[in-house]
Amino acid sequence: MTDTLVLGIETSCDETAAAVVARGSDGAGRILSNVVLSQVAEHAAFGGVVPEIAARAHVEALDGVIRAALADAGVGLSDLDAVAATAGPGLIGGVLVGLTTAKAIAYAAGKPLVAVNHLEGHALTARLTDGIAFPYLLLLVSGGHTQIVRVDGVGAYVRLGTTIDDALGEAFDKTAKLLGLGYPGGPKVEAAAASGDPTRFALPRPMLGRPDPDFSFSGLKTAVRNEAAAAAPLDARAVADLCAAFQAAAADVVADRVAVALGRFRADAPGVVPTLVVAGGVAANAAIRARLAGLAAAEGVRLVVPPGVLCTDNGAMIAWAGAERLALGIADPLDVPARARWPL
């Protein structure tokens, strides 16, 4: 067998995840297993992720999740070519649990360790699912990050734009909390928006038309809060309408910012037909996907959005980023540090 087999471990937020991924010598990827244990129930009562609870839950669950990932893949530790784990950025307690576990396994099994940047995991997922070539334009929209990046190669990222305040997923989560929809907010806002009228409430489109493809969402969040206060007490219809208005504003902003970034990409890489990749938890949002599909069609650009389970945090993306690094001869020493902050 010429495939490279990598175990990937992800514990940087509120999913305890492990997966086994194969990478062929031709660069093609295959997911052999992908086990994700969500901690949603543990954090729901608090309306968001509590770092200490997350770290403890990772400690309790991780061994079983790794065992399940190996069993599902039908492989043992000796079959692996490397062990990869998220080394940051993220909640440091959780990152330490996953990275330390990966170090122990790598040491005990005598396998190389690959310390993966969580954002690189999101960034490279489209090569696992769709085998796309470099360079491509990446819109990374998650709970902690909102960035537009030109991906030139493994480890070669040029950031074209970023948020100056909240991440888009965070704005979804805060909107949900404000409207009493609970946690995690993104899917709840999307579900409520489905029956809402996006035109009843007029919300701002921050940064629309700006020459640099940056984002800002705190003003939008404040506008939702003000409209909600003015319309109180909110009935289910008002909540649905506010969610629909928020989601429409978010989609407008995202489409406008990506259009600007596409112009940059074309100017920087003339002759390359851009592929637009969307990654991160918010990429699971059907309204935003549909909006980007329209933009891509109008611009003659290929749009790649990995399936939802690979957009939200998972072990396969970390295993794959590890396999991509390993293919370039990159591995890490066992004393590689965990990093709470680690820009792409």
Give the interface with ligand KG4 as residue ranges (CB under 6 A).
Answer: 13, 142-144, 169-170, 172-173, 184-187, 190, 280-282, 284-285, 312-313
Q: Taking the complex as a whole, how short is the minimal distance between the CB of residue 271 and ligand KG4, in angstroms? A: 32
Q: Is 141 annotated as a binding residue?
A: yes
Q: Taking the complex as a whole, how short is the minimal distance between the CB of residue 145 and ligand KG4, in angstroms? A: 7
Task: State CA 71 to chain mean position distance.
Answer: 26
Pairing of strands 4-10, 82-88: parallel
Closest Cα to residue 243, out of 153, 173, 323?
A: 173
Size of interface with Zn ion, in residues (CB under 5 A): 2
Do residues 92 and 50 touch, judged by C-beta distance below 8 A?
no
- CA atoms of 253 and 167, how far apart (whole Å): 13
Nearer to ligand KG4, 23 or 188 (CB): 188
**Of these partners, Zn ion, ligand KG4, none, which one is at the site of residue 112 (CB under 5 to 8 Å by kind)?**
none
Q: Taking the complex as a whole, how short is the minimal distance between the CB of residue 262 and ligand KG4, in angstroms? A: 22
Angle between helices 185-193 and 286-299 (to 10 degrees): 80
Q: Taking the complex as a whole, how short is the minimal distance between the CB of residue 26 and ligand KG4, in angstroms? A: 29
Do residues 341 and 12 touch, judged by C-beta distance below 8 A?
no
Nearer to ligand KG4, 214 or 313 (CB): 313
**Of these partners, ligand KG4, Zn ion, none, which one is at the site of residue 169 (CB under 5 to 8 Å by kind)?**
ligand KG4
**Of these partners, ligand KG4, Zn ion, none, which one is at the site of residue 306 (CB under 5 to 8 Å by kind)?**
none
Exposed/middle/buried for residue 258 (C-beta within 10 Å: 0-12, 13-18, 19+): buried
Q: Across the chain, where does the E strand assignment appear?
A: 4-10, 15-23, 29-38, 82-88, 113-117, 136-141, 146-153, 156-162, 275-279, 302-304
**Tokens representing 245?**
């208005």
Q: Taking the complex as a whole, how short is the minimal distance between the CB of residue 313 and Zn ion, in angstroms? A: 4
State which of residues 33, 142, 162, 275 lies at the interface with Zn ion (CB under 5 A). Answer: 142
Q: Taking the complex as a whole, how short is the minimal distance between the CB of residue 214 and ligand KG4, in angstroms? A: 19
Nearer to ligand KG4, 11 or 285 (CB): 285
As a residue count, the chain comes to: 344
Q: Is 186 annotated as a binding residue?
A: yes
Q: Any idea what DSSP says for residue 160?
A: E
Closest Cα to residue 129, out of 49, 23, 249?
A: 23
**Of these partners, ligand KG4, Zn ion, none, which one is at the site of residue 121 (CB under 5 to 8 Å by kind)?**
none
Residues 277 to 316 in contact with Zn ion, rule: CB under 5 A? 313
Nearer to ligand KG4, 16 or 312 (CB): 312
Task: State CA 337 to chain mean position distance.
Answer: 22
Question: Binding site: which residues?
Answer: 118, 122, 140-144, 173, 186, 190, 285, 313
Q: Which residues bind Zn ion (CB under 5 A)?
A: 142, 313
Question: Binding site for Fe cation: which residues?
Answer: 118, 122, 313
Question: Binding site for substrate: which residues?
Answer: 140-144, 173, 186, 190, 285
